[in-house]
Amino acid sequence: MNKRIGITCLIILGSACLLTSIIVVGGVGVYMWDKANPMPTITAAPTYAIVPEVTTCPAGVCQESSTPNGALPTDSNTAAAIPTVELPNYIVKVMDQIQTEVVQIRGLQPRRKIPRALLSSSDLRNKVVNDFLVDYTPEDAQNDAIVLSILGLLPPDFDLLSFYEELYNEQIAGYYDDETKEMYVVRSSGFGGPEKMTYSHEFTHVLQDQNYDLRNGLRVNDEDCEKESERCAAITALIEGDASLTEYDWLYQYASDQDRSEIQTFYQSYESPVYDSAPPFMQDDFLFPYTAGQEFVQVLFDQGGWHAINNAYANPPVSTEQIMHPSRYPFDTPIVISLPDVSSALGQGWVQTETNVIGEWYTYLVLAKGYQFETQIDDTLARTASEGWGGDAFQVYYNAATNQTVLVMKTTWDTSRDAKEFYDAFKLYGKTRWGSPSSHFNLYTWLMNLVHGVKMPDSETTWQTDTQSVEIRYNSHTTLVIIAPDSNTIDLIIQTLNVK
């Protein structure tokens, strides 16, 4: 999610991860052509006014230039990293012009020059794969697949690493690397409408980084995002939504008729078989930072123009709930939920592979976008059931010797009605995934829970298959979901949690 901000891949024009380690690939501005939302025909002004505004950076975030006479310094540490092939003069002039136009639109001032280059499609894809997938090991991919599999979002044997390699080989259009401070745009037959639009999006990321310091100021980096995936997903949506809104401003104000014609032609011929074959949740998750992010940023703009958007960088959104429901920003912040480590209840051989926050967005995806079509519940029902999310914590444990997985997920909701809505929706989801609920009453379990002081839930539903036991329960504002190899393991986990 962090470096992904910068890669403009071809799925999205105008891009949480639940687990940031799933896709800590990308640079600031993963840019994709959006087949789901192709470029609109621009015949009139957008619904917002263009109000250029030069702003003051938040204290301690901006790094001002100390170069005399207003000249912009170039980072000497990154300049040598760009390809040695010199850009043609006409392309340099076009890039410079777009930069001037984006500054006029966005109102943020550049602090220093950046290395920039055009690369062939194959060279750019190789660079992205080598730069961003090199640290994503087969073990990382396997752990991520384990988590997504028990959530019902991926098949158990899904080769996540190979899929990402194929996806980026198909999709890369350009990126700004917030670590090396370099910007690249893919070059096909020239520098036409698609390349110009990509450049306007990517240069917005340059301005964001130079004014707000994405990696250190906003802490959108591998280490922080692995620990706080929900926060990073929200900030990524802000960043990409901002760049997308700026891009469409540029498209309306400055793109020529020929630029627009070339973009339309590109869309008419564009194909993306790898993306089209992706599991449903993944397609939606790639789009989320752009689509939901742009809607979030649009609301801010309607309230206070670019000044309101700039203020959001000083007080960033902290949850996908805030992105999905802009009226809840900035005051409705997540409740912190803690879960004890239940390894002792599981016995030998079990390793915790993940502990994090799922958030409202992935709660919705679990219900509505499972990899098996028959498990997907109605989209409206899934959105209603996930709304009212107040905070959560989840843990996943894996036993390599037995190839078994355990999921523990505790969620608090804004109201008891919200908790009941999720409980009811999950029962419907569970019936499609595991079959009819079990009606078996375990007297021993009931007595042991009573002895250990475990509070009986307001409602409880269980499923039993040949390989899994599942239980969901809710008490007032809280729901608890446990997936384990058998019911005895669930009982031990509940006793360890001492659910109240």
For residues 364 and 358, what is the distance between their CA atoms, to the nearest angstrom? Answer: 10
Same domain flag for 303 and 348: no
Q: Are 339 and 409 in contact (CB under 8 A)?
A: no
Same-domain check for residues 282 and 375:
no
Q: Please indicate, yes or no, if residue 147 is contained in any of the structural domains.
A: yes
Q: What average pLDDT score do residues 10-26 get?
A: 32
Do 306 and 368 belong together in one domain?
A: no
Q: Are 200 and 246 in contact (CB under 8 A)?
A: yes
Q: In the block, which residue shows the tokens 């109240």?
A: 500
Domain at 375, CATH number? 3.40.1000
Lowest-pLDDT range of 147-161, 179-193, 197-211, 405-419: 179-193
In a domain, 378, yes or no: yes
C-alpha to C-alpha distance for 317 and 295, rounded to whole angstroms: 14
Alpha carbon 67 to its chain centroid, in Å, reads: 37
Domain closes at, from 261, 294, 327: 327
- Angle, alpha carbons 259-262-263 (nearest 5°): 85
pLDDT of 42 reads 35
In this structure, the answer to whether residues 120 and 255 fall within a common structural domain is yes
Is the same domain home to 133 and 187? yes
Are 11 and 286 in contact, with CB atoms under 8 Å apart? Answer: yes
C-beta of residue 204 within 8 angstroms of C-beta of residue 105: no
Q: What is the pLDDT of residues 97-151, one digit of tens each?
A: 999 999 999 999 999 999 988 788 778 777 777 777 778 889 999 999 999 999 9
Is residue 436 in some structural domain?
yes
CA distances from residue 29 to 116, 117, 167, 324, 342 in whole angstroms, order as listed: 14, 16, 16, 20, 38
The token duo for 345 is 């209840």
The residue type at 33: W
Q: Are residues 313 and 353 in the same domain?
A: no
Is the domain of 403 the same as that of 430?
yes
**pLDDT at residue 457 in the model:** 56
Domain ends where: 279, 294, 327?
327
E strands, 451-498, are 459-464, 469-475, 478-484
Residue with the larger pLDDT of the pair 294 and 186:
294
Q: How many residues does the chain have?
A: 500
Question: Is the pLDDT assigned to residue 26 strictly greater than 70?
Answer: no
Is the pLDDT at 304 greater than 80? The verdict is yes
What confidence score (pLDDT) does residue 2 get? 35
Residue 429 lies in a domain: yes
Q: Is 361 found in the same domain as 241?
A: no
Alpha carbon distances (Å) from 280 to 81, 364, 365: 37, 12, 9
Sheet with strand 459-464: strands edge to edge: 350-356, 389-399, 404-413, 478-484, 469-475, 459-464
- Looking at the predicted structure, is the pLDDT value of residue 153 above 60? yes
Element (H, E) at 108: none
Q: Within this chain, do residues 196 and 315 fall inside the same structural domain, yes or no?
A: yes
Buried b (16+ CB within 10 A) or exposed e, 138-174: eebbebbbbbbbbbbbbeeebebbebbbbbbebbbbb
CA gap 493, 150 in Å, rounded? 17
What is the structure's pLDDT at 73?
52
- Token couple for 14: 């105008």
What is the identity of the amino acid at 430?
Answer: G
Q: What percent of the chain has pLDDT over 90?
A: 63
Q: Among the listed ranges 142-146, 269-273, 381-385, which one has the minimum average pLDDT value?
A: 269-273
**Parent domain of 45:** 7-327
Its pTM stands at: 0.85
By mean pLDDT, which of 100-104, 145-149, 192-196, 334-338 is the weakest? Answer: 192-196
In a shared domain, residues 303 and 381: no
C-alpha distances (whole Å) from 173 to each of 6, 7, 124, 313 are 11, 8, 8, 26
At residue 236, the 3 state secondary structure works out as helix
Q: Is the pLDDT of residue 226 over 60?
A: yes
Phi-psi region of 74 (alpha: psi -120 to 50; beta: other; left: phi over 0): beta
pLDDT value for 137: 87
Q: How far is CA 70 from CA 94, 111, 112, 147, 488, in A?
A: 22, 9, 10, 51, 70
Q: Is residue 333 included in any domain, yes or no?
A: no
Within a domain: 475: yes
Q: Tokens 């098996």 — which residue?
A: 372
Which pLDDT score is estimated for 190?
A: 75
Count of domains in the chain?
A: 2
The C-alpha atoms of residue 364 and residue 361 are separated, in whole angstroms, by: 5
* DSSP state, residue 272: -
Collapse the DSSP code of 59 into the 3-class scheme (helix H, G, I; strand E, B; otherwise coil) and give the result.
coil
What pLDDT, on a 0 to 100 scale, did the predictor assign at position 273? 93
HSE of 363, CA atoms in CB hemisphere, 13 A: 38
Q: Which of 68-77, 87-96, 122-131 has the lowest mean pLDDT?
A: 68-77
Question: Is 1 among the domain residues?
Answer: no
**What's the confidence (pLDDT) of residue 133?**
79
pLDDT at 279 over 50: yes
Answer yes or no: is 298 within a domain. Answer: yes
Of 327, 360, 380, the last residue of a domain is 327
Please tell me whether the peptide bond between 279 and the residue prior to it is cis, using omega within 30 degrees of 0. Answer: no
Query: Does 243 lie in the same domain as 150?
Result: yes
Residues 323 and 354 both lie in one domain: no
